[in-house]
Amino acid sequence: MNTNDIQTSGDDAPVDSALSSDDNRPRGGRANEIRNVLQEEIESGNLPPGAALDERALATRFNVSRTPVREALQQLAARELVRIAPRQGVNVARLSISQVRAIMESVGELEALCAKLAARRVDDVLRKELDKAIERCQDAAVQGGHAEYAMANTYFHETIYAGSRNPYLSELIRNARRQIQRYRIRDFQTKTQISKSLKEHQQVARAIQEGDEALAAQAMLLHVPSGSSGFSEFLARMPMSFFESDTTEH
């Protein structure tokens, strides 16, 4: 489906009868399924910020009437993943630059704390898991592409979350990352980016394995783009159309 030509429509007339079956599932259950699919596509960046969404096209795609599609879009709007504007249609929600910066700053600080706790609580099991995570990143950097390295990157960070032994903190980070993930689709697109990330992973892992809390936190804070030069580099890779206008920006 071309995500750039989706427009909202008016009444709830069903699509062609051959496409209007809800698979005999309860309407609410079908709406939840549609919401889950669209949420994953939004959070992964497959539906980029600002992309238009059309009830009729989505009904055709999911082989349903427009009612469960409308319910799914309303659920996504409640989660601030889409915006529904009267007479303007439905679009994937965009964040302002200041909102993106604030979330990324928060992620950086939380990740640093997670690395610090992992270093404080490190044991032989975590040391081995970090070695495994680094090896996976190295293999992806040499043999894989950006998708493979992105998966290895997630595995590395999840290893540290587990090592922190603080599930509350780990879930805070995951939730924040989900909000920002659609703005990270330009990560790991070049060998230079991947090489830099791998080197920083090795520095973070080494500090944790040595139990150096301060160094682990510092290395992680430098690794995660925040409000400094890392954020400027990140911003330079992003289309400005992905951002909501922000009158507070100067």
7 pLDDT band (50/70/90 cuts)? very low
CA atoms within 13 A on the CB side of 69: 25
Q: What is the token pair recorded at 233?
A: 């580099």
Contact 200, 160 (CB under 8 A): no
| pLDDT at residue 157, as a whole number | 97
pLDDT greater at residue 149 or residue 183: 149
- How do 52-53 and 89-92 pair as beta strands? antiparallel
In the chain, pLDDT over 70 holds for what percent of residues?
85
Contact 37, 47 (CB under 8 A): no
| pLDDT at residue 125, as a whole number | 98
Contact 122, 209 (CB under 8 A): yes
Q: Is the pLDDT of residue 227 over 60?
A: no
For the chain, domains (ranges, CATH) are 3-93 (1.10.10.10), 97-244 (1.20.120.530)
State the average pLDDT over residues 175-191: 83
pTM value is 0.76
pLDDT greater at residue 46 or residue 214: 214
Q: What is the pLDDT of residues 116-135, one digit of tens each?
A: 999 999 999 999 999 999 99
Distance CA 56, CA 65 (A): 8
Q: What is the pLDDT of residues 13-69, one digit of tens each?
A: 443 333 334 444 555 689 999 999 999 999 888 899 999 999 999 999 999 999 999
- Give the residue from 63, 54, 62, 56 showing the smallest Cα distance to 36: 62
